[in-house]
Amino acid sequence: MKPSVRTPLPGPKAKELLARGERVLSPSYVRPYPFVPARGEGVFLEDVDGNVFLDFMAGIAVNTTGYAHPKVLEAVRAQAERFAHVCFSDFTHEPTLSLAERLVEKVGRGYRVFFGNSGAEAIEAAIKLVRYHTGRPYLLAFTGAFHGRSLGALSLTASKSAYRKGFGPLLPGVVHVPFPDPFRPPLGARPEAVGEVVLNHLEHLFRTALPPEEVAALFLEPIQGEGGYVLPPEGFLPRLKALLERHGILLVADEVQTGAGRTGRFLALEHEGLEADVYVLAKGLASGYPLSALLFREELGSWRPGAHGTTFGGQAVAAAAAHATLDLLEGGLMENAKEVGAFLLAELKGMQRRFPFLGEVRGRGLMIGLDFGSPEEARPDLRDKAQRLAFEKGLLVLAAGPSALRLAPPLILSREEAAMGLEVLEAVFRSL
Ligand SMILES: Cc1ncc(COP(=O)(O)O)c(C=O)c1O
Give the number of other Cβ atoms within 10 Å of residue 367's Cβ: 25
pLDDT score of 109 more than 90: no
Q: How many CA atoms lie within 13 A of 48 on its CB side?
A: 14
The CB of 51 under 6 Å from ligand 1? The reply is no
Q: Separation of 354 CA from ligand 1 center, angstroms?
A: 34
The CB of 257 under 6 Å from ligand 1? The reply is yes
pLDDT score of 292 more than 90: yes
Give the number of other Cβ atoms within 10 Å of residue 37's Cβ: 15
Q: What is the pLDDT of residue 384?
A: 98
**Domains of the chain, start order:** 1-52 (no CATH), 70-328 (3.40.640.10)
Q: Separation of 307 CA from ligand 1 center, angstroms?
A: 23
Q: What is the pLDDT of residue 94?
A: 97
Ligand 1 atom closest to 255 (CA): 1
Q: What is the pLDDT of residue 249?
A: 98
How far, in Å, CA of 132 to CA of 258, rounded? 26
Burial (CB count <10 Å: 0-12, 13-18, 19+), residue 234? exposed
The CB of 118 under 6 Å from ligand 1? The reply is yes
Name the residue with the closest Cα to ligand 1, atom 13: 148
The whole-angstrom distance between residue 243's C-alpha and the CA centroid of its chain comes to 25
The CB of 100 under 6 Å from ligand 1? The reply is no
The CB of 281 under 6 Å from ligand 1? The reply is no
- AA identity, residue 53: F
Q: What is the pLDDT of residue 99?
A: 98
Residue to mutate, 283, 289, 291, 312, ligand 1, most ligand atoms under 8 Å from C-beta:
283
- Percent of the chain clearing pLDDT 70 (strictly above): 100
Task: Find the mean pLDDT for residues 73-91.
Answer: 97
Task: Find the mean pLDDT for residues 262-287.
Answer: 98
**150-166 confidence digits (pLDDT tens):** 999 999 999 999 999 99
pLDDT score of 108 more than 90: no
Task: Find the mean pLDDT for residues 297-304.
Answer: 95
pLDDT score of 326 more than 90: yes
Indicate the helix (H) or strand (E) that contains 297.
strand 292-297
Give the C-alpha distances (Å, rounded to integers) separating 295 from 75, 251, 291, 348, 372.
24, 12, 13, 35, 36
The mean pLDDT of the chain is 98
Give the number of other Cβ atoms within 10 Å of residue 335's Cβ: 14
The CB of 148 under 6 Å from ligand 1? The reply is yes
Quickly list DSSP for 153-198: HHHH--S-HHHHTTS-S--TTEEEE----SSS-STT--GGGHHHHH
Task: Find the mean pLDDT for residues 203-211.
Answer: 98
